[in-house]
Structure 1
Amino acid sequence: MPDDLGLTLLRRASLDEVMACAALLERTDRKYVVPRPVVHRLVEQLAATHHVLSVAGRTSTTYRTQYVDTGDLLCVRDHIQRRRRRFKARSRLYVEDGLCRFEVKTKEPRGGTVKVQTTVGPDRFGRFGDEEAAFLEQALREAAVPGVPSLEPTVEMTYERATLVDLAGGSRVTLDAHLVATGPAGRVRLDPGFVLVETKSGASPSLADLVLRRLGQRPRSFSKYAATASLLHDHVPANDVHRLTGTALHLERISA
């Protein structure tokens, strides 16, 4: 990731250090779409309290994520309709490290997000077979989320992520750049002049949320998957996404 975001200002932290204090599999996520110069100012103001995750000398990692859903995009529609009991399921590959996980995210009744994951072989990236289906079934049962009859790969998303961590407080900030989502109907990308910033903390706003507020940034309630899928599929009723596209989300459909 080019250093116009100011990552060299931060002290580095190892993956073990990050996992020891900031697993946060139960958390509240807040999303912002932020101009790159403002992200640099955010990083500057967090330098005294936050480290940047460093893996094999890198301060960013390329993510490939393949979402699975029903043929009529039930997970997308549940998110848009804000159903209290909903889920997302995805296969995620950390490209440079060759690490692959299958992940399931569910919503708590109070609005928090719970993520469970299992490590699989990198050859299983993008696949949804018996192993993944069994893991999903157990995760949904434990979260009291209704299951679905069958799922299939839908949208694949790639982006480059840097992770900032408050080692003392346990909160995290992720910076996602160069985001492109691809499906059978075409591609959607995040405007290169913007970065998707996500804060991951408890119910109360984190220091990063407070800094972003001072910098004039507001959190946006949206899902990367639901937003991009709704732009790729005309039959998905996503008025909120379409209203914000180009002004607050800065997502654009670029080709078939």
Structure 2
Amino acid sequence: MTTAPAALAPAARAVDAAARAAAPLTLAEVNQRAELLARFDRSYLVPADTFLRMIGRLTDPRHPAGPFRALDIDGRRTFRYHSVYYDTAGLRSFHDHRQGRRLRFKIRERVYEDSGERQFEIKLKGRRGDTVKHRQPLAGRDTPQGARCWLFLADTLHRAYGIDPPAVLHPSLTTDYLRATFVADGARITCDAGLVCTDLRTECAVRCDAGLVLVETKTAGHLTEADRILHAHGIRPAVFTKYCGALAVLRPSLPANRWRRAARCAFGGEVRVAPAG
């Protein structure tokens, strides 16, 4: 059962309205036009009203290059995502990203809550500084800590980096949010609202500002029109990832200065204890 738009917070309401107003696009068309498993990502923390102006321009049917269209699956335009990030006990993935190491990776299980589909995903850094995603479906009792996923991880890291995988991985952080996806040829924009991140060690959580949309532009090349529109509104890319930004707030003792400014903007620095169950 979906939440009625009037009951949503401002950012979620803006994402829902923008997706409903755009022309639809099927998942097969998304993969055909802009699958972008190797891409450059830029993240922005965008006030809901600015987001609506940006996406309104891009989805306008009169757009000279053709409008961006919204992913539609069985009449649904917004989708609930749940991800579990895995790391070593010493947070190797977090610290490799903090130090800017080229041979770095993130590991997660992604659950598409509306369909129940599960994916094991490995995000690597390519030679050009781009993000390269590898994934395989999870079925039945498969888990990222199981033998099948470990072999996939080992093969991926050997092929890409020539390194061995961590011997042991632990669930570190979960993220939950509402997403709409807008697509044009060779370009994709994901728009997330209502982000909640929970530290699985402490069971504390942070919630993103209800008026901010986390916009990520994804392209194989240079700046997109969406980037240029946001820059014209005075909004610059944020040094922010869900995993590292959340840990910067949830574990203030970590050396995470590069993410703290954007994380404070996103989360306000407020940490709450997650309710039991």
Same fold (TM over 0.5): yes
Structure 1 gaps of 5+ residues are none
* Structure 1 residue aligned with 2:118: 100
Post-superposition CA distance 1:180-208 (Å, at most 9, x none):
01122210121111010000002301111
User: How many residues are matched?
Assistant: 252
Counterpart check, 1:177 vs 2:174:
no
Shift of 1:251: 4.8
Distance in 1 between residues matched to 2:264 and 2:249, nearest whole Å: 12
Larger mean Cα displacement after TM superposition, 233-242 or 101-110: 233-242
* Structure 2 residue aligned with 1:141: 158
Distance in 2 between residues matched to 1:109 and 1:220, nearest whole Å: 22
Tell me the secondary structure at the aligned position of residue 246 of structure 1: helix
Distance in 1 between residues matched to 2:226 and 2:159, nearest whole Å: 32
Contact 1:155 1:225 in 2 (8 A): yes
Residues 251, 22 of structure 1: alpha-carbon distance in 2 compared, 3 angstrom cutoff: farther
Give matches, 1:89-238, under 5 Å. Answer: 89-121=107-139, 123-124=141-142, 127-144=144-161, 146=163, 147-166=165-184, 169-183=185-199, 184-185=201-202, 186-238=204-256
Distance in 2 between residues matched to 1:31 and 1:52, nearest whole Å: 19
Contact 1:86 1:145 in 2 (8 A): no
Letter in 1 for 2:206: V
Structure 2 gaps of 5+ residues are 6-12
Query: Normalized against structure 1, the TM-score is what?
Result: 0.93
* Aligned partner of 2:58 among 2, 22, 46: 46
Contact 2:189 2:218 in 1 (8 A): yes
* Structure 1 residue aligned with 2:271: 254
Q: State the Cα RMSD in Å.
A: 1.7
Shift of 1:42: 1.0
* Structure 1 residue aligned with 2:102: 84
Post-superposition CA distance 1:93-113 (Å, at most 9, x none):
000111000000000132101
Tell me the secondary structure at the aligned position of residue 193 of structure 2: strand
Distance in 1 between residues matched to 2:136 and 2:39, nearest whole Å: 18
Letter in 2 for 1:174: T
* Structure 2 residue aligned with 1:7: 19
Query: Normalized against structure 2, the TM-score is what?
Result: 0.86
Distance in 1 between residues matched to 2:133 and 2:105, nearest whole Å: 10
Contact 1:34 1:197 in 2 (8 A): yes
Percent of aligned positions that are identical = 35
Contact 2:19 2:78 in 1 (8 A): no
Residues 245, 20 of structure 1: alpha-carbon distance in 2 compared, 3 angstrom cutoff: closer
Tell me the secondary structure at the aligned position of residue 186 of structure 2: coil
Distance in 2 between residues matched to 1:122 and 1:39, nearest whole Å: 39
Post-superposition CA distance 1:198-235 (Å, at most 9, x none):
00002301111111112221012322101112222233
